[in-house]
Amino acid sequence: MIKDQSIKIFPTVETLAKTFAELLKQNVDKTDDNDFYSIALSGGSTPNKIFRYLSENFVDKINWKKIKIFFGDERCVPPDNEDSNYRMANESLLKNISIPKENIFRIKGENNPVKEAERYEEVLKSNLPSLNGIPQFDLILLGLGEDGHTASIFPNQVNLFYSARLCEVAVHPQTKQKRITLTGKIINNAKLVVFIVTGKNKANVLSKIMDVNKSKSVYPASFVNPKNGKLTWFLDLEASKMFDNKSNNDVIER
Ligand code: 6PG
């Protein structure tokens, strides 16, 4: 049972991005001046649209100096590689905002994967507050793959979600590309986890994940359940069309 979950469905990606941006601004504005707001960014194509919206509309509306940026996963490639999640985030957002370079904590995809997973775990421990002895993010952004993966935890490597580590080395089941990923230990310790899922190609897997009776044990995304935090789904209409437990207050008309 997901403790504290909300589902927000938007008619367009633009309205979704606007509401997400406003949520981010609200949370950063609430952060004490001597504190910071920590975010782990997701990769892939979906967040690219959200990051571009932030660059076009919220550069001067959010106090980016109060934010520390981390990554939920990274492909084991150099930062200038077209597969790099850092490169995507930098091109679509980071280079456009006034965030101090020291506030960006890149997973170094160019490093030896095992050593980088160890290094990044130390980065998390020394740059985040902790709850119950586990580093705690203010916000973790997650995407959803058509196979139900999230971050870089794939259905054939569910053990990584339950790892005792904070970071693990994953292998993409098709491309065999190595990835560094956060594990469920830190994901489920976050104050807020936001899934951003759009497009009709995600509708099928999303309907299975939303039906808790069907989703257990196969879809890593279904294991995301922040123990002391909130889980919010930001969906567009296309992605949400196949599940029927929508309540009236879920659809945001903007
Ligand atoms: C990655 C992501 C991954 C992504 C999903 C959805 O590194 O690829 O972290 O988990 O969120 O694969 O990707 P799309 O947004 O491209 O559909």
Atom of ligand 1 nearest to the CA of 149: 10
Residue nearest to atom 15 of ligand 1 (CA): 46
Domain count, the chain: 1
Q: Is residue 91 part of a domain?
A: yes
At 84, which CATH number? 3.40.50.1360
> Measuring from each residue's beta carbon to the nearest atom of ligand 1, which residues come in under 6 Å?
42-46, 72-73, 85, 143-145, 149-152
Q: What is the mean pLDDT of each run of 10 residues along the chain (254 residues)?
A: 84 96 98 97 96 98 98 98 98 98 98 98 98 98 98 97 98 98 98 98 94 75 95 95 72 66
> Does a structural domain hold residue 46?
yes
Q: 215 in a domain, yes or no?
A: no
Q: Is residue 52 part of a domain?
A: yes
Q: Is residue 153 part of a domain?
A: no
Is 177 a member of any domain? no
| Contact between 206 and 7 (Cβ < 8 Å) | no
Question: Which ligand 1 atom sits nearest the alpha carbon of residue 85?
Answer: 7
- Tokens standing for residue 48: 């690219």
Q: Which residues contact 119 (CB under 8 A, 6 or more apart)?
A: 108, 111
Domain span holding position 92: 22-138
Is residue 154 a part of any domain in this protein? no
**Main-chain dihedrals φ then ψ at residue 24, nearest 5 degrees:** -60, -45
Confidence (pLDDT) at 245: 63
